[in-house]
Amino acid sequence: MAIDRAALLSGTRPEITDGRVLMTSADGFDGYEIVEYKGMCWGISVRAKDMGQDCAMGCKMVSGGELQSYTQLGDESRQRALDRMLQMAVRQGANAVINVEFELTPIGKGGGNNTVVVHGTAVVIKPIVNYVPTGALGNIMAEIADGLDKRNL
């Protein structure tokens, strides 16, 4: 079964529905056009580890190795801030966030307290009908199609 190269290259991206929100650090999405800017959106998380964990991590700094408690704190903080930003985007009626950036600020001298802020621009995007990618993405898709045609899949 041969793959139609033209059909592969002219495929329209799927609609973004059901309250889903795409996000990117870029200023747009390949194959989508921005039809409305909703404004800034952000999420903030300020978290701390308890005194016992902070002391244990201080000892770990002497012996070396990963500070797992602090790693977990960082992961939890980023995820909470991200969830809040996406919720704000949904409240604004957006289905995407562009120019996403994270800021991490330690509080005090220990590593057990931090503030995470994530922000971006909430937008509404829609697929470009019959979008044909150019550059590297278009070339990769063409090579895939050509390779599959040669194997008669």
Confidence category of residue 95, pLDDT binned at 50, 70, 90: very high
Task: Name the fold adopted by 15-129.
Answer: Translation Initiation Factor IF3 (3.30.110)
Convert the pLDDT of each residue in 83-94 to its tens digit: 999 999 999 999
pTM of the model: 0.69
If you ran DSSP here, which 8-state letter would residue 95 be given?
S
Angle between helices 51-63 and 68-91 (to 10 degrees): 130
Convert the pLDDT of each residue in 43-70 to its tens digit: 999 877 654 555 444 554 555 666 566 7
If you ran DSSP here, which 8-state letter would residue 48 be given?
E
What is the model's pLDDT at position 129?
Answer: 79
Confidence category of residue 28, pLDDT binned at 50, 70, 90: very high
Q: What are phi and psi of 81, to 5 degrees?
A: -65, -40
Whole-number percent of the chain with pLDDT over 90: 37
What is the model's pLDDT at position 16?
Answer: 82
What is the model's pLDDT at position 57?
Answer: 47
What is the model's pLDDT at position 37?
Answer: 98
Whole-number percent of the chain with pLDDT over 70: 59
Q: What is the mean pLDDT of residues 25-52?
A: 87
| CB of 25 closer than 8 Å to CB of 100 | yes
| CB of 38 closer than 8 Å to CB of 86 | no
Structural domain spans, the chain: 15-129
* Residue 31, amino acid: G
The mean-pLDDT minimum among 29-33, 71-75, 133-137 falls in 133-137
